[in-house]
Amino acid sequence: MIRKTMNYRDGKQGFQRITGKGDLMGICATLNRKYLCCSVHVLRSVHNCPFDCSYCFLQDYLNDGMTKVVCDSEGLMKVVKEKTAQQPWRLFRIGTWELGDSLALEHDTGQAESLVNGFGGLRNAVLELKTKSDCVDTLLRLDHRGKTVVSWSLNTDVIISTEEHGTSALHERLHGIYKAAQADYLIGLHFDPLILHKGWEEGYTRLVRQVFESVNPDRVAWISMGSLRFHPGMKKKIENNYPDSRITGAEMVLGDDMKVRYVKPLRTMMYSLLYGELKKYVREGVLIYLCMERWDVWNRIFGLFPRSIGHVDYLFARSLKERFGLGPDIPDSALYEKIHQQDSGEPLP
Ligand code: SF4
């Protein structure tokens, strides 16, 4: 019997297996056309998460807090095959982390294992499993055929221990990265959310060094940077749910996507520091991008910005084709830009 709980924290104690219903595949829920979005697709395969990050948007989002995992992997793959077959020229990036962590429950569910096997047979899609865990052991012997990117959300030891409750420690995540790379998986790195804290400059500098002591940058498919952001209504919830957290104390401003962020000079300072550190390790061609940022912030950090959301999607496809041979044909930027204009029905800025 399917139970319900309104309290997302009570719902973290166990999980239910469910069969997938409704719209199982869509675009990442953060999409907002005033910001540059990477337009990754998401497979709604998990719902809530056993981890307990203070900044997690799920505390403000879930109507039913029960943790649920779609156990019908064949059904999920059927949806993926149908959707990707409609645009055979396009490379789809598809993540399973929209409403939870891709691997936190893998030991008990085997969901990711089934999806890795399923994506291995697809020509125009890559699976992204994103995690704050080190649960990769069951994936290491799979025949993934280079079609899965195992990604980590990374932060400093200080932030992990004070804000990311229940997640794997940094050294455990780094060991997970090492093992996944040794098993020939491509690796994704998400430095997100960057959070101001005492010693953040040294902390993020050290973090980048530690990451590239664990993985050869040539195995890294993409790298994102994002800063702390949340709906203003979450501030009170964070303060109630996590009274020891300090993340709501900083000066933040409301953006067009109705989320508060650090003021622009602060965000720019954090991205600049991190990007400067990343460039010491990665070559030209490794896609480094900002998650949900404005055109002018891209310009300040990278000295350029994509023309549109479709152009960002194209840059992913081009990078993955050139570096790893992934995807169908040589990607055509006009096709990517056109499909996004059609999807939005709006003129692009
Ligand atoms: S790992 Fe992600 S989904 Fe899980 S609690 Fe943390 S922010 Fe939320």
* pLDDT single digits (tens) 195-235: 999 999 999 999 999 999 999 999 999 999 999 999 999 99
Q: Whose CA is nearest to atom 3 of ligand 1?
A: 100
Q: Is the pLDDT of residue 189 over 70?
A: yes
> Could you identify the atom of ligand 1 that is nearest to the CA of residue 51?
5
Residue 146, helix vs strand vs coil? coil
Rounded Cα distance, 332 and 314, in Å: 7
Is the minimum distance from the CB of 154 to ligand 1 under 6 angstroms?
Answer: no
For residue 152, the CA-to-ligand 1 centroid distance in Å is 12
Any atom of ligand 1 within 6 Å of the Cβ of 228 = no
Q: How far apart are CA 233 and CA 329, in angstroms?
A: 45
Which atom of ligand 1 is nearest to 57's Cα? 8
Domains and CATH numbers, the chain: 23-344 (3.80.30.30)
Mean pLDDT computed over every residue of the chain:
93
CA of 23 to the centre of ligand 1 (A): 22
Express each pLDDT in 66-87 by its tens digit.
Answer: 999 999 999 999 999 999 999 9
**Cα dihedral across residues 155, 197, 36, 344: positive or negative:** positive
- Please list the alpha-helical segments (H only) found in 183-263: 200-214, 234-241
Q: Ligand 1: which residue has its CA nearest to atom 7?
A: 56
Q: Please tell me whether the overall predicted TM-score, pTM, comes out greater than 0.75 for this model.
A: yes
Q: Which of 132, 135, 238 to mutate to test the pocket of ligand 1 (most atoms within 8 A of CB)?
A: 132
Question: Distance from the CA of 167 to the center of ligand 1, in angstroms?
Answer: 9
Give the Cα separation of 34 and 41 in Å (integer): 19
Task: Give 38's pLDDT tier (boundaries 50, 70, 90).
Answer: confident
Phi-psi region of 47 (alpha: psi -120 to 50; beta: other; left: phi over 0): beta
Distance 56 CA to ligand 1 centre (A): 5
